[in-house]
Amino acid sequence: MDFFEHQDKARRNTGLLILYFGLAVLCIFGALFTLASYFLSRDPYSEKILWDIGLAVQIALGTGLFVGLGSLYKIATLNGGGKVVAESLGGKPLNPGTLEPKEKRLLNIVEEMAIASGTPVPPVYLMEEKSINAFAAGHSPENAVIGVTRGCIEILNREQLQGVMAHEFSHILNGDMRMNIRLIGVLHGILLIAGLGYFLMRIAPYLGGGRRNRESGGLGITLLVAGIGMLVIGYVGAFFGGLIKAAVSRQREFLADASAVQFTRNPQGISGALKKIGGLSEGSRIEAPKANECSHMFFGSSVASLFATHPKLEKRIRRIEPNWKGEVPEGNNSTKSIHATKSSVISGLTNNKGIGNKKTLTETSPQSRHSQETILHAGNPTQAHVSHARQIISETPPALLAKVREPFGARCVVFALLLDKEKKVVREKQLAFLREQSERGSVEETENAATLIADLSSEQKFALVEIASPALEHLSNGQYATFRSIIEHLVAADERLDLFEWSLRKVIDHDLGRRFTRKHPNQGSASVSRLLPECMLILGSLARHGQEGEAPEPAFRAGASALTRKLSPELPKAEDCGVPELNAAVDRLDKLTSLDKRSLLEACSRTIDHDGKATDVEVQILRGVAAGISCPLPPSIS
């Protein structure tokens, strides 16, 4: 199963979550109706319960509104994405420019994995907990954050920490985070009944007993009994909450472990981290008050629970290391044994169904298939991509990396990427605008960055924008609006929009725009056949701009045949393949389903690879298209 299939499955799982939610509400309604009927609808002579339909309708409406509004309120409070979850758990953002060695090591690993997977670099939050644990939270890769405990970075070595981060990136890429956020909201509504019961029990003593009149005392007793009843009924919600968490979490943890092995090609990394959890007295326990609410998000079980959200530790280790003997390291480096299950071992993780069996693209020619390989690994990066990402970072001037890791320098680097390199008059116009609209020192910092950027490849330039994401997230809404306005003016200074400017702007909107606008990715319902003209315009733009003097028709046909065999679409005219038309088409194509987005990107790759090479312009267009339709695209490996 690849990234696109995971996204499609995540969409279907939302329907399953709604079904579970409906069953829970139905059971809560039944229990509340029985309780209300016992108190309010009994025959005064026989004491038999009268099942009143009118009362049932009132209870049903009240339950639905109470639980539904409670869930909607919680989901609304979580609209800010992973940042809200991280802060609720006591996490503090790590400074991207930190010099503390272990914190810096963690940030380096996260940067490498983000670039390798083609996602914005997520901000990292540190929780001052002694246990070993981590989580990824957010609605999408664009507003994701990663949370890590102090114990995780202090106790684990680099390869173990990399295994844990690979596990969390799997959740980011597989669409698990969105489901996790919805789970918090849904469960909050279900558990509100118990909260209301507890409240009634607390106020009951103040309304009865002592010198108060009999009516008041009767009201107090009634509230007390009703409160106890609602508290008990609330545990119906807790029961279903546990079932829902367990149902959607356990298999995803096995899948994320498997993906981490594929990502790092190092089973000892993640298995070593799991073993250290087993040998640590604190284990993976989280002390934060909201830990139970978010227990399904963590790398390891954060709280003890009847309905465990994670498989048993020994089962997870044994799936990675079938011959494991049950020994784990203790804090003093000695070893101890924990119970190791003897149940049948599922086949090795790297051959796990759905992980290693990726769909193979149809061969288009015996020539280079670099772009097709890039699409093949969208959302499924390998250790080769991590190594390539590390190389991209290592070959980027350290002074530039230092700039993009703090807000002021990051903005100036983005401005430098947009400075005109050919026309001095345009460049002077851009710098004059910067001097007028930006902070003091911005022009000098931008010119300095432009000198360092001059010899970078497009891949390195895009990587700089991704690395800058955590620093730029610290901008206020007003600062971001100014930043975005300056970008628009720099792009418009030469009164034309080139493909690099367009693709860079798409990446910035993808990486940052959704974090500030809180706009979540389109789930998609349109098909390729419905948006075929827009798809053909993308392929036509790639063919016309990227063939370097070769006839564009053969490359266009190679891509078009991947989308439709019944029709013979015409190559779009050159005047219809400009940047404005390209931009409008990409905006509409964001409505495609996940599987149709894959089909489009595969068609793009066949157009690019038709001549056996990927030009800089083609890479820029592909990056812009992928960002515009919210698909993570790893760097191309030659």
Return the H-helix or E-strand segment holding 336: strand 335-337
DSSP 454-465: TT--HHHHHHHH
Query: Bridge partners of 49?
Result: 42
DSSP 209-222: STTS-HHHHHHHHH
Radius of gyration of the chain (CA): 28
**415, 407 contact by CB (below 8 A):** no
Quote the Cα angle for 301-303-304, to 5°. 100
CA distances from 518 to 139, 172, 225 (A): 9, 17, 44
Return the H-helix or E-strand segment holding 335: strand 335-337
Sheet strands (E) in 75-184: 92-93, 124-127, 134-137, 145-149
List 5, 103, 168, 459, catalytic entry:
168
DSSP 491-515: HHTTSS--HHHHHHHHHHIIIIIHH
The length of the chain, given as a count of residues: 638
- Report the distance separating Cα 495 and Cα 511, nearest Å: 25
Query: Bridge partners of 149?
Result: 127
What counts of helices (H) and strands (E) characterise the chain? 25, 6
- Contact partners, residue 584, CB within 8 Å, separation at least 6: none
Per the annotation, the verdict on 168 as an active-site residue is yes
For the annotated catalytic residues, the residue numbers are 168
